[in-house]
Structure 1
Amino acid sequence: MYYSRKRLMDDLPEEVTAIWSCTNEKCNGWMRDNFVLSARPTCVQCNSFMEKGEKLLPVLENANHKQSK
């Protein structure tokens, strides 16, 4: 049986999600807010500060988000 990856991506529901984006213009790093381990994260790629924003992303649940920030 054949399954197309593109079709699976089209079926995923999307929502506006809180994210942290890198402030360095040369870096395109970002992460979902519910996967951040500190109150003020730094970029794992370049160690720059990150700022809060929003992005339209597929819905994804973090089962380990019980940690306090």
Structure 2
Amino acid sequence: MYFSRKRLMVDLPEEMTSLWSCTNELCNGWMRDNFVFSVQPVCGQCNSLMEKGEKMLTIVANTSPNQTKR
């Protein structure tokens, strides 16, 4: 069998997205703000503090019913 990964013919829409980035210089961890469950998250890779920022990313909708931040 042959499986080919064809490139999408339509570009996915992008927008400026709020996100949290890891403050550790050796870590490149980040997460979208609408997928965070705490007010001040910690990095899932190195457990360092994270800072808020923005990045141009493809649009992803979070449909989780558990979206309250504590």
- TM-score band w.r.t. shorter chain: 0.7 to 0.9
Instruction: Report Cα offsets for 1:11-64 as digits up to 9, x if no partner.
Output: 100000000000000000000000001000000000000000000000000001
Higher helix share: 1
**DSSP 3-state at the match of 1:34:** helix
Q: How many residues align?
A: 66
CA RMSD of aligned residues (A): 1.8
Tell me: CA distance 1:65–1:22, structure 2 relative to 1, closer, same or farther (3 Å). Answer: farther
Q: Percent identity?
A: 61
With normalisation by structure 2, the TM-score equals 0.84
Structure showing greater radius of gyration is 2
Give the aligned partner of residue 68 of structure 2.
Answer: 68
CA contact 2:35–2:67 (8 Å) conserved in 1: no
Gaps of 5+ in 1: none
List, as ranges, runs of 4+ consecutive aligned residues in structure 1 with deviation greater than 4 Å.
none
